[in-house]
Homo-oligomer: A and B are copies of this chain.
Amino acid sequence: MAKEKKFVEAITSMNEDFAQWYTDVVRKADLMTYSSVKGCMIIRPYGYAIWELIQKELDRRFKETGHENVYMPMFIPESLLQKEKDHVQGFAPEVAWVTHGGENELAERLCVRPTSETLFCDHYKDIVQSYRDLPKLYNQWCSVVRWEKTTRPFLRSSEFLWQEGHTVHATYEEAQEETIRMLNVYSSFCEEFLAIPVVKGQKTDKEKFAGAQATFTIESLMHDGKALQSGTSHNFGDGFARAFGIQFLDRDNQLKYAYQTSWGVSTRLIGAIIMVHGDDSGLVLPPNVAPVQLIIVPVQQHVEGVLDKAYELKERLSKVCRVKVDDSDKMPGWKFSEHEMRGVPLRLEVGPKDIEKNQVVLVKRENREKLFVSMDELEEKVPQILSDIQKSLYEKALAHREERTFTATTLDEMEKILNETPGFIKAMWCGDRACEDLVKDRMAATARCIPFEQEKISDKCVCCGKEAKHMLYWGRAY
């Protein structure tokens, strides 16, 4: 049968060809497929279910911190995009332009939003009048378009799903506080929910968002040692407010420009989950973000009583986790591989002998560890095991990152690490853009961030040898 056949074809091993391994996993775990529009993907039910879990949890955390959801139009008139000059320079080269509505040419071109700062600003200038109107803490869930030349599923596609928070404040300090608050929401979400450890820090001027005064980032390390920018939070100062005329009457009766932030994470996080936790058997999902946390596979399901027992256990366990029974007519071995490929954290096997002994076999996806558990204790044990797995995945990812975090004091050292054992490299920097450019030209690595937790690796810039200002995380990135 076609559907089973594909599981016979083993996926490429990670060490052999990581890029091909990634492509194999996203396709064979049915997370996405390609569409007839270049660079745009179809997110399939299993991939979308992961995104729904991410959305639900993030949305809860946004609302808990006082944010409200809104919806802005997907189009931006060309003249509006041009209002903030750094911003338009950053985005204009990669937007899709709508020129016709029905049969008629439009009087002004519209771009499909690559991000919505300009739309939010245009709205804020109308609704913010007084200090009483502040802060405004808005977020929106939507899709955005950036016309990318080379694309990779979830990591870089011409259209992707994300959320973008946009806030307005009375003072610079409040805007900065919000910028860091949301960075922290992202980092705790990644660590607690996705089991992905992150480094928090500030982007260099070269790498910051077009139009931002300061960009903060969470950076994570993939299994192959490449970095992934996993979320960003920007402080705009009053730059956009001045460009768009967002002013308010303050308590002191003075008309002042407002201060703004924006912050976003996207379906790229699904790419991070795959590349941080996956292995040669496919996807490995942290239980918190697994659409199916426990799969029940009946063994000798034709034997009377086995399927009934499987359904009974499902009924019971559905109260404590997301559970399914695989009662298809495939062989158990096929089912094991299929659900391993799909990263289901825990498998429950139940057959005639288990029923006799009033026990089941639980198998952890992460390491195939087998546990024999009495049927009477399942409601108690399963949530505990899922919680252990969640913790263990985080610890493994953290250990991998620590093992792959190096220090360097010379460019030769940096290059050697990048070529032999790629990972994060902590090295000093003088603060000059020229040094960043040189590193990028020579070894295709970028400054990932100026981490909040600074260390002194040496006194001198790794590149020019002048006095160092900051310690940076460097790396090759997706």
Contact = CB atoms under 8 A, between A and B. Distances in A.
A390 to B, nearest CB: 24
Interface stretch (A95-103, A226-234, A376-384): A95-103
Given A45-B69, A68-B45, A37 B110 contact: yes
A37 B73 contact: yes
Interface string A41-74: 1111100110110000000000000001111111
Contacts of A35: 72-73, 119, 122-123
A126 to B, nearest CB: 7
Contacts of A147: 101-102
Given A37-B75, A45-B138, A119-B35, A102 B112 contact: no
A133 B40 contact: no
Contacts of A142: 143
Contacts of A77: 36-37
A8 interface: no
A373 B143 CA distance: 48
A1 B71 contact: no
Nearest to A137: B45
B110 A101 contact: no
A99 B147 CA distance: 12
Q: How many copies does the complex hold?
A: 2
Given A96-B100, A96-B101, A126 B33 contact: yes
Is the interface on chain A under 10, 10 to 19, 20 to 34, or 35 or more residues? 35 or more
Contacts of A96: 75, 98, 100-101, 110
Nearest to A96: B98
A100 B102 contact: no
Given A96-B101, A102-B94, A74 B2 contact: no
SS of A interface (majority): mixed
A130 interface: yes
A285 to B, nearest CB: 17
A408 interface: no
Contacts of A103: 93
A240 to B, nearest CB: 15
A68 B143 CA distance: 19
A96 B110 CA distance: 10
A68 B49 contact: yes
A370 interface: no
Interface string A111-148: 01000000100110011011011000010001101010
B99 A97 contact: yes
Nearest to A329: B132
A76 interface: yes
Contacts of A71: 42-43, 48, 51, 143, 161
Contacts of A69: 45, 48-49, 52
A3 interface: yes
A159 interface: yes
A251 to B, nearest CB: 13
A80 interface: yes
Contact of A99 (B100, B123, B132): B100
A5 to B, nearest CB: 11
Contacts of A159: 73-75
Contacts of A122: 35-36
Contacts of A161: 71
A35 B120 CA distance: 10
A70 B41 contact: no
Interface in A379-420: none
B74 A145 contact: yes
A75 B159 CA distance: 9
Given A36-B80, A37-B77, A95-B102, A42 B138 contact: no
B2 A129 contact: yes
Given A71-B48, A75-B159, A138-B45, A99 B102 contact: no
Given A42-B123, A70-B42, A73-B37, A132 B3 contact: yes
Task: In the A-B complex, list the 6 residue pairs whose CB atoms are closest, starting with the nearest.
Answer: A40-B73, A45-B68, A101-B147, A43-B71, A97-B100, A99-B99
10 contacts: A33-B127, A37-B77, A42-B119, A49-B68, A52-B69, A73-B159, A94-B102, A97-B98, A97-B99, A142-B143
